[in-house]
Amino acid sequence: MLIVFSIIILILLIPIPIIFKIKYVDKKLCMYIYNIELISKFKSYEKKDRNENKNKDKLNFYFEDIKLLLHLLNKSKFKPTLKFKFNLQYGLDDAAYTAICYGLFCALVPLLIKLLNYPFKIKKHSICIVPDLKKFILKLELNSIIFVNFAKVIYILYITYRIWRINKKIVLSKT
């Protein structure tokens, strides 16, 4: 019994690496987890018409919900650890447009890192942007390793459940 209990504790506390890879080359998107291709397992669905007459209070409720969740995740000490390498090779046939986009992409890198800091603790990152001034090309490659242990996942799920429960009470009080 003690051995089973100690094995369960080890599983909860030892981080498990999840290797995730995304490639976009020649209008083909490939997604991998542990070198197993996932994109072939997804089915395409038809788009449904959205109802344009949505209540604005309900939309604000969702924004407040996401804002509170991001705030709590940002303050949390129990974030999964992320290591990633991002490579972007692009070209727009025109050197001027390619140079403008290069400046834009380089300016968006700190924003990307800040957005990833909300749900993850970034240990190591590498972002490489390569402009090709002569060809029209787009190649993306993202290699990442996410270290997750089940105790952190349970804690994050508890935070989201708590937010959902609080906001459910607020919605019921408005009716």
Q: Identify any residues that bridge with 124 across adjacent strands, giving them in sequence order.
A: 83
Tens digit of each residue's pLDDT (9 = 90 or more) over 91-128:
998 899 999 999 999 999 999 999 889 888 999 999 99
Q: How many residues does the chain have?
A: 175
Q: Mapping DSSP to helix (H, G, I), strand (E, B) and coil, where does residue 57 land?
A: helix
Report pTM.
Answer: 0.68
Going along 66-119, which residue ranges are E strands? Answer: 81-92
Tens digit of each residue's pLDDT (9 = 90 or more) over 55-71:
554 545 577 777 777 77
From residue 174, give the alpha-carbon distance in Å to each of 76, 82, 131, 150: 30, 40, 53, 36
Q: What is the mean pLDDT of the chain?
A: 81
